[in-house]
Amino acid sequence: MLKLLVIILAFISHEHEAIAQYGPPYSSVVIPVTKHTDVAKPVYSVEIMTSFVNMQFKTENFLIDIDAPFIWHDCIVYWDMYPGKCPDDKFCHYPISCEDQTCTWVRTDYSYRNPLCSPETNRSNLPGYGVDCTCPLNVVNPVTGTCGGPALLSENIFNVHKSNGRNVFNWTYISYPIGACAPSSSYASFPANVTGVMAFSTSLYALPEHFYQPLKKSLSLCLPSTSSSRGVMFFGTGPYYLLPHSNVDLMSYLSYTPLLKQPDSFGYFIHVKSIVIKTRYIKIPSNTITKLSTIDSYTTLRTDIYNGVVQRFSKVTRRFKPAEPVAPFGYCFSTSNNNDRRHVGFKVPDIDFVLIGRKKWTVSTSNSIKQVTKDVACLAFVDGGETSEPAIVIGTFMFEDNFVVFDIENSTFGFSSSLLHKHTSCSNFNFTLTHLP
C-alpha cells in the first residue's frame, strides 16, 4: 500500500508539473492608454480592436470609466449583416430584441439613472427573424453628466492583445460583452477620435466580467502624465514590467487596502482614515467614504476636509508667495522666484493618505502640485462643497505615473505611489509586438 501511495503521489506531482509546463504563455491582456487634453478636462482612453476588415483589425478609442454600468460606443445595429451590408466607416453589431431576457436584465440591473433622461420605450424598427423591436437604453455622458441616447442594446466583439507582463503577443484574446450603440450626439463633447465609453466597473455588463480563465479578475492601470506617450492597462495576473527595470515586477511596489461596496454604484471605494502632512494629521470623520474615479481630474474634498488640508499645507510652504487662485483650485502660489525645483516636481512635503491597516498612499509633488501657468502652481485638490458625497473623490491627477490594481476577485486595491521615484513611469511599457511562444 505504501508503494502504491508513493506511485500515486508521484503521478499527481508529474501531472501538476506538466500542466504548469504546458499552460498558456500569457497571464494577462494588455491595452494602451492615452491621455487627452483637447477637451475641458483631461480624460483617458483605451484603444481596443473591434472588427476585422480587409485582413486587419479596426480599432476604436473608448473613455476609461470605472463607474459606468455598461459599454456604449459609436456603432449601428443590423440583423441581416451579410458581407458588404455594414458601411466601411462604421462598426456594426447584431441587435438585442426588447423581447430578449437580456434586455430586461440590463434595464433592471444598471443602477444609476439621470433624472433628465426620458423613460425608455421600445421601438419597432428592426423587423424580421422574430426581432420586432430594439432595446433602447439611456446613456449618461461621463464628461458632462448629461443624458444621451437612446442607445440600442447590441452584441459586441472586442479583441485585445495577450501578454506575459513584459511582451505584447501578436495573438489576441476575444471577448463578447453586451454593449450599446449610441448616437453621435452622446459623445459630442469627447476628445477627437474618442467615440465610446468602456466600462471597467464591477457591473455584470462591464468588460472585466467578460474575461475568463486563465485571466484573473484583476484590473491594473497606469495612467500617463502626458498626451505624447502611452500608458498601459492590464487585465489578469502579474508579473508586470516597465523599462528600464526589465526584471523588477511592479507588483512588488504595491501596498493593499480593502475595496468597499456602496449601494447603487458599480464603482470602487476605499476608506481613508486620515490625511497627514509633515507629521500633522488632518481629521476625517470615521464614516467617510472615498471614491476612486477615472473621470474626475483632481482629487475633491468636502469643505471641512479641504480647509484642514489647505491650512496645514500653507503653513509648511510659507516660503512660497501666495498667488491668486486659478479655477478649479483654491490655493495657489507663485513660482517666479522659486529655485527649489527637483526631478520630481517642487520640493514640497509629501501628502499621505492613511488607509486601513496603517497603509499609506504617499502623494508626492508630481501628483499634488499642478503648474497652471509659467509662474503659478496650485495645490491639486478641489473644494467639493460642504455637503459633497462621497466626501473624498480621488481623481486622475493623483493616479498619473502610479501603478494601481483593482483586484475584483479579492476585493482589494493595490497602489504603488509615484513610479518617478523608482526612475520609471507609466509611459515605459514596451508595446512592440512579438510572436506568441
Tens-place pLDDT, residues 254-286: 999 999 999 889 999 999 999 999 999 998 998
Say if residue 189 is in the same domain as residue 295.
no
Q: What is the mean pLDDT of the chain?
A: 87
Query: Among candidates 295, 31, 62, which has minimal Cα distance to 172?
Result: 31
Say if residue 151 is in the same domain as residue 267.
no
Q: How many domains, the chain?
A: 2
Say if residue 303 is in the same domain as residue 217.
no
Say if residue 207 is in the same domain as residue 99.
yes
Evaluate the omega torsion of the peptide bond into residue 191 and state whether it is cis, within 30 degrees of 0: no
| 14 in a structural domain | no
**Spatial separation of the C-alpha atoms in residues 20 and 436, rounded to whole Å:** 17
pLDDT band (50, 70, 90) for residue 117: confident
Q: Is the pLDDT of residue 339 over 70?
A: no
Any idea which of 21-30, 100-109, 224-233 has the lowest mean pLDDT?
21-30
* Mean pLDDT, residues 402-428 taken together: 96
Residue that the C-alpha cell 470623520 belongs to: 285
How far does CA 50 lie from the centroid of its chain? Answer: 19
Say if residue 63 is in the same domain as residue 114.
yes
pLDDT band (50, 70, 90) for residue 6: very low
**Spatial separation of the C-alpha atoms in residues 75 and 87, rounded to whole Å:** 10
| 427 in a structural domain | no
Say if residue 147 is in the same domain as residue 285.
no
The enclosing domain of 315 has a CATH number of 2.40.70.10
Say if residue 222 is in the same domain as residue 254.
no
Say if residue 145 is in the same domain as residue 71.
yes
Do 68 and 268 touch, CB atoms closer than 8 A? Answer: no
Say if residue 353 is in the same domain as residue 392.
yes
Look at the pTM and tell me if it is higher than 0.95. Answer: no
In DSSP terms, 379 is beta-bridged to 369
Percent of the chain topping pLDDT 70: 86
- For 361, counting Cβ atoms within 10 Å of its Cβ (0-12 exposed, 13-18 middle, 19+ buried), the class is buried
Grid cell in block for residue 59: 480599432
Say if residue 257 is in the same domain as residue 220.
no
Supply the pLDDT for residue 123: 62
β-bridge pairing 28-36 and 147-155: unpaired
| 128 in a structural domain | yes
Supply the pLDDT for residue 109: 76
Rg of the chain on CA atoms, in Å: 24
**Spatial separation of the C-alpha atoms in residues 42 and 73, rounded to whole Å:** 19
| 20 in a structural domain | no
Grid cell in block for residue 263: 449601494
Do 63 and 142 touch, CB atoms closer than 8 A? Answer: yes
| 293 in a structural domain | yes
| 140 in a structural domain | yes
Range of the domain at 77: 28-226
Q: Which of 189, 210, 226 is the last residue of a domain?
A: 226
Say if residue 272 is in the same domain as residue 152.
no
C-alpha count within 13 angstroms, C-beta hemisphere, residue 110:
24
**Spatial separation of the C-alpha atoms in residues 136 and 151, rounded to whole Å:** 5
Supply the pLDDT for residue 61: 96
Residue 44: what residue type?
Answer: Y
Supply the pLDDT for residue 213: 76
Q: Which of 191, 226, 261 is the last residue of a domain?
A: 226
C-alpha count within 13 angstroms, C-beta hemisphere, residue 236:
24
Any idea which of 45-59, 364-378, 405-419 has the lowest mean pLDDT?
45-59
**Spatial separation of the C-alpha atoms in residues 312 and 163, rounded to whole Å:** 45
**Spatial separation of the C-alpha atoms in residues 431 and 169, rounded to whole Å:** 9
| 231 in a structural domain | no
Q: Is the pLDDT of residue 115 over 50?
A: yes
* Mean pLDDT, residues 100-129 taken together: 70
Say if residue 86 is in the same domain as residue 222.
yes
SS3 111: coil
**Spatial separation of the C-alpha atoms in residues 177 and 210, rounded to whole Å:** 6
SS3 402: strand
C-alpha count within 13 angstroms, C-beta hemisphere, residue 320:
28
Neighbours of 17 (CB within 10 A): 10
